Structure 1
Amino acid sequence: MIVLTRSFRVLGPTGAGKSSFISMATGGGEETIGHGLNGHTQKVRAVRGRDPCAPERSYVFLDTPGFDDTYLSDTDILIEISIWLIATYKRRMLISGILYLHRISDNRMTGSALRNTHMFSELCGNAALPNVILVTTIVGTKDQEAASKREKELRTTFWESMIGKGSRIERFRHTPQSAWDIARKVSTHRLPLQLQTQMVDDHTALSKTSAGTFLNSWLNVLSNRLKGLSEWFQSKQ
């Protein structure tokens, strides 16, 4: 990997606009690349794009499956992402930064979106948060005042902790220029993610990592709620 190459991940819930961002940045002519990793990584796409203002500078976009996927469980997605992170980290291929896309055309922060945010934070860890750009996307709305209001809510409430630890907010306007304006702000200082150091350096099982522990806790809460609901229905029969 040449010095000018910057490798970063594009994360976010399903429908947040990850593929749209990469398509805008690469002009739709996506050059999917690979690093000789095993077949389990097929759900994580590596796509190369070149800065239109500096063609000698290439970027590698890693498009990951989003949580709340139609066909994959959150556990399956975490496994897919961890496989990629472990393989690249063992090859000393550190990521320059992470773009976390969040759709702000929704009227409120849903429970699943909030869960995704917590999961993302645990996956990255505090040390890597300065390399995170929180990207807001707008789908199907032209109300800029409402969009700004939602961004303020994210900044002061839901994302306050991550911003306090160095993360930044940018808005993706669904244009190639907007995509590259954001991509150029990715840090040149590469840092490992918490999931990588926990699993590779500390030899921690995925289920015992910070992200895995959070997911297990949420699944336990969901299981207890479903159990309570089932018992309530049975008592009414």
Structure 2
Amino acid sequence: MTYCVGMMLDAGLVFMSDTRTNAGIDNISSFRKMTVWEEPGDRVITLLSSGNLATTQAVVSLLDERTKTPEDRQPSLLAAPSMFQAARLVAATLREVISQHREGGQEAASSFGATLILGGQIAGGPPRLFLIYPEGNFIEASPDTPFFQIGETKYGRPILVRAYNPAMGFEEAMRLLLVSFDSTVKANLSVGAPFDFHIYSTDSLAVETRGRIDADDPYLLSISEGWGDALKAALDRLPPFTLPAE
């Protein structure tokens, strides 16, 4: 399974993804689910992927390969005039890959589906964030929907809904995301560290802050322990339930 989040802030965009992949309880491995394309001074585009690994690998490989071909031969993320057009290109590539599975006689084509988060900024436009569905349609983040999750979303969503604030700084956002990811890991063994992250500052048009947080990272361990203790303390402070009199 997978857990990935893309979040819009007043200061820019924050992305985080887990790396666990599995084909059964005895076949667990790690695979990077975040891809970043950069043309310094012109664009930074980040893609997060969830779903069938063969499909997502094929989509990323095609997109990457087409950035290296002449513009007049294949559409390229590095030539898209806007983030909306970049989203259309990624959606079309996803449809293309899934269609190839279907035309190749693969059974249960739905099992080859994938869901993607695409975000970034192209010079001349603002940072934008999109959620792309297996069918190739997509929606854009807005003040009403300022973050997207894909994969195993239900365990980490409550903390995001309750604590998200568009005015928070990148440090606060990273803390919030790590609590969300830790909550997901605790509830679902198919999601796991290391966690990849990318922080994009509005109008920087460059990759500035990107990294990986391992399972034994001291800060992650302190977040996990501190959040558990805080929940227990908060529960203890709530009014006690009074049993009805018999």
Between Structure 1 and Structure 2, the one with more helix by share is: 1
Q: Same fold (TM over 0.5)?
A: no
Higher relative contact order (CA 8 A, sep 6+): 2
TM-score by length of 1: 0.28
Larger radius of gyration: 2
TM-score normalized with structure 2 length: 0.28
